[in-house]
Amino acid sequence: MKDFGYTVIKQRTIDYDQFDGRLLNEVLQMEPSFKVCLSCGGCTATCSANDLVSFNVRRMNLLLRRGETVELESEIKKCMLCGKCMLVCPRGINIRNVIMLIKKSILKYNPVKS
């Protein structure tokens, strides 16, 4: 195939005007404690899944808040739900419920199915 010199790259700027907040709002409504994340990374540091595969729990919050649903869907599946992160979280976020809610709701909002 002829290369025209264009490649599809991920948009570099977060275009917040294009942001679809439905998934985020649904998760926050069902689990309000998720609002108070201060991105300390304690969850990622202690994560059992993270020992075996590259998986950053803390980033789930950012992916959700920036509308990166495709990546979120593939990442969220890595969680083993062991609950260690909840024993570490300085804000007492109910992280396991957040994971379960995203896993469930993303089926509704993510049009991309592998």
List 26, 28, 41, 65, residue binding another protein (CB under 8 A): 41
For the stretch 30-34, contacts whose Cβ atoms lie closer than 8 Å and that sit 24 or more positions apart, written own/partner, are: 30/97, 30/101, 31/94, 31/97, 31/98, 31/101, 33/91, 33/92, 33/93, 33/94, 34/61, 34/93, 34/94, 34/98
List 23, 34, 42, 69, residue binding another protein (CB under 8 A): 42
Q: Does 38 bind another protein (CB under 8 A)?
A: yes
- Which one, 3 or 97, has the nearer CB to another protein? 97
Could you tell me the CA-to-CA distances from 91 to 34, 79, 99 in Å, in that order? 9, 20, 16
Q: Does 70 bind another protein (CB under 8 A)?
A: no
Q: Does 14 bind another protein (CB under 8 A)?
A: no
Q: Kindly state the smallest distance separating residue 15's Cβ from another protein, in Å.
A: 21
| Total interface residues for another protein by CB under 8 A | 42
